């Protein structure tokens, strides 16, 4: 494992921990898209079909279990927790995410590396993950107000994909038979979707920082 993949896994894990912190500490899921979280459940379930058939390493297995378990826990809280579900912005979270699922599955049937059950669902998970953030970004745009923890969650999620692009570049030049071009292209598309959010996130962070420094010298 190279440093870029490790950094990607860690920032992905941090994004999930930040989201869980927001939900359990504030007892609120305001600003969080349930549609995006449900898409992430589908992504992990489809990608890790090999969990009980192929053992790669303890680290690999643990991370798969953590991602599946945490995504299910988040969806359960937003749907079933008596207090948390009251804060869900159902009126704003109206993105028709089932179109993303259907489109990704059709694309996986048409464009894949090998026509096998596991490879089709792997490609499907890659395509779906690339666009899974769309309901979240639309929700943030509609609400017009991003709290600190929600902003950090989306930021770390975007950083995870950026690190994985570096991981793929590194593997392309260091591994003789690295051919995961589907993941590379999908990762670029996904990172591009975060560009607008990153722009406004850094502007907001710069504004908050400048106000903090100004208050210190009053």
Q: Do the Cβ atoms of 97 and 38 come closer than 8 Å?
A: yes
Residue 146 belongs to a domain: yes
Residue 213 belongs to a domain: no
Residue 215 belongs to a domain: no
Is the pLDDT assigned to residue 199 strictly greater than 70? no
Region of 95 (left: φ > 0; alpha: ψ -120 to 50; beta: rest) is beta
Residue 116 belongs to a domain: yes
Residues 60 and 105: their CA atoms lie apart, in Å, by 25
Residue 25 belongs to a domain: yes
What would the pLDDT profile of 135-144 be if each residue is shown by its tens digit?
988 888 887 7
What kind and span of H or E run contains 157?
Answer: helix 148-174
Which of the two residues, 204 and 148, has the higher pLDDT score?
148
Residues 179-185, mean pLDDT to the nearest whole number? 74
Across the chain, mean pLDDT equals: 83
What would the pLDDT profile of 51-80 be if each residue is shown by its tens digit?
888 888 899 899 999 999 999 999 999 999
Residues 188-202, mean pLDDT to the nearest whole number? 69
Domain coverage including residue 141: 3-84+95-208
Residue 76 belongs to a domain: yes
Residue 110 belongs to a domain: yes
pLDDT at site 63: 92
Structure pTM? 0.83
Residue 142 belongs to a domain: yes
pLDDT at site 121: 94
Confidence band, pLDDT 50/70/90 cuts, at residue 204: low
pLDDT at site 196: 65
User: What's the domain count of the chain?
Assistant: 1
165-196: buried (b, 16+ CB within 10 Å) or exposed (e) per residue? Answer: bbbbeeeeeeeeeeebebbbebbeebbebbee
Residues 3-10, mean pLDDT to the nearest whole number? 91
């Amino acid at each position: 494992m190279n440093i870029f993949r490790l950094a990607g896994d860690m920032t992905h894990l941090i994004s999930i921990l930040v989201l869980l912190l927001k939900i359990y500490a504030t007892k609120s899921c305001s600003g969080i898209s349930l549609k995006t979280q449900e898409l992430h459940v589908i992504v992990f379930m489809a990608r890790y079909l090999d969990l009980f058939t192929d053992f790669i390493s303890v680290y690999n297995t643990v991370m798969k279990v953590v991602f599946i378990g945490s995504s299910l826990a988040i969806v359960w809280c937003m749907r079933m927790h008596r207090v948390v579900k009251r804060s869900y912005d159902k009126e704003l979270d109206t993105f028709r995410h089932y179109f993303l699922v259907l489109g990704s599955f059709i694309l996986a049937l048409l464009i894949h590396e090998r026509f096998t059950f596991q490879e089709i669902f792997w490609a499907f998970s890659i395509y779906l993950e690339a666009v899974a953030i769309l309901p979240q970004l639309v929700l943030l745009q509609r609400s017009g107000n991003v709290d600190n923890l929600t902003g950090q969650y989306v930021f770390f999620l975007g950083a995870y994909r950026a690190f994985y692009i570096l991981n793929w570049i590194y593997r392309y030049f260091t591994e003789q038979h690295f051919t995961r071009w589907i993941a590379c292209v999908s990762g670029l598309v996904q990172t591009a979707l975060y560009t607008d959010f990153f722009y406004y996130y850094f502007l907001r962070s710069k504004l908050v920082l400048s106000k903090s420094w100004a208050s210190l010298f009053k």
